[in-house]
Amino acid sequence: MEVFFIFLTSHRLLSYTDHTQRQRLLIFLPGVCLSCPALYQFPVGKPHPVDGERHMQGGVWLYEIKCAYQKGGYVMTVGVEKPEDLAQKDLARLVVDMFHRIMVHHTLWFCQVEYQMGMKKALGVQKDAWTNSYAIQMKRLAEIFGFQIEDGIPKILLDMPREALLRLMGDISKNWLAGDGVWFQAVESQYGIWDAKRCNDSCWTRFSPFEAWSIKQFLGLPEEAGIEGLKKALQFRLYARINVQSIIDEKPNSIVFQMNDCRVQAARKRRGLEDYPCKSAGLVEYSSFAETIDGRIKTMCIGCPPDTHPEEWFCAWRFTLPE
In terms of C-beta density within 10 A (0-12 exposed, 13-18 middle, 19 or more buried), how is residue 274 classed?
exposed
Backbone torsion region of residue 59, taken as left when φ is above 0, otherwise alpha when ψ lies between -120 and 50, otherwise beta: left
Q: Residue type for 118, please?
A: G
Q: Are 274 and 295 in contact (CB under 8 A)?
A: no
Residue 292 CA from chain centroid, whole number = 24
Any idea of the CA torsion for 239, 242, 247, 253, to the nearest 10 degrees?
20
- State residue 54's pLDDT score: 53
Q: Are 1 and 53 in contact (CB under 8 A)?
A: yes
- State residue 18's pLDDT score: 42
Nearest of 318, 119, 74, 116 to residue 212 by alpha carbon: 119
In terms of C-beta density within 10 A (0-12 exposed, 13-18 middle, 19 or more buried), how is residue 301 classed?
middle
- State residue 55's pLDDT score: 53
Q: Are 67 and 76 in contact (CB under 8 A)?
A: yes
- State residue 58's pLDDT score: 56
- State residue 59's pLDDT score: 53
Residues of the chain with pLDDT under 50: 1-50, 60-76
E-assigned strand segments in 142-219: 149-150, 153-154
Q: CA distances (Å), 318 to each of 184, 231, 303, in order? A: 28, 12, 10
- State residue 296's pLDDT score: 97
- State residue 262's pLDDT score: 96
Rounded Cα–Cα distance for residues 1 and 205 (Å): 49
Rounded Cα–Cα distance for residues 298 and 286 (Å): 10
- State residue 47's pLDDT score: 46
Q: Are 177 and 241 in contact (CB under 8 A)?
A: no
E-assigned strand segments in 71-186: 73-77, 149-150, 153-154
Rounded Cα–Cα distance for residues 288 and 297 (Å): 10
Please provide the size of the chain in residues.
323
- State residue 11's pLDDT score: 35
pTM over 0.85: no
Q: CA distances (Å), 78 to each of 6, 64, 74, 82, 201, in order? A: 13, 8, 12, 11, 43
